[in-house]
Amino acid sequence: MAGNIGRNLGNATVISSISPPRLDSGHRIIFPPMNTVIITLLAITLVAIVIVLLTGIIGMGRGGDFNAKYGNKLMRARVILQGLAIVLFLLLLVTSNRG
């Protein structure tokens, strides 16, 4: 079954919108396309980057114990998330259909 992920499964067509796997009329599992999964993960990663960035900026502006304790951790988390976003973007480019 794992080899059929993102492909046409017999008479069933692969769904193209963001949705969980479903069963077709022949009781076969239909998975969303891989690009949909990557785009969803990329969007989640970008939202997380903005949240971490804003938390770091607000913490730095206020100063105090929060900034001293979490400032470097937030910066490290942001850099890791940005690296993940770049990897997901490159993976999206590699797996996208070229016409």
4 pLDDT tier (thresholds 50, 70, 90): very low
**Number of domains within the chain:** 2
Q: What is the pLDDT of residues 26-56, one digit of tens each?
A: 666 665 677 888 999 999 999 999 999 999 9
Q: What is the pLDDT of residues 71-80, one digit of tens each?
A: 999 999 999 9
95 pLDDT tier (thresholds 50, 70, 90): confident
Same domain, 17 and 48: no
Same domain, 78 and 64: yes
Same domain, 50 and 83: yes
Domain that residue 86 falls in: 33-99
Same domain, 20 and 37: no
Same domain, 76 and 62: yes
Contact 88, 45 (CB under 8 A): yes
| Residue spans of alpha helices (H) in the chain | 34-62, 64-95
* Alpha carbon separation from 51 to 3, 18, 27, 63, 72 (Å, rounded): 36, 23, 41, 18, 15
The amino acid present at 98, given as its one-letter code, is: R
Same domain, 70 and 58: yes
pTM for this predicted structure: 0.65
Same domain, 22 and 46: no
Residue written as tokens 């900034």?
Answer: 67
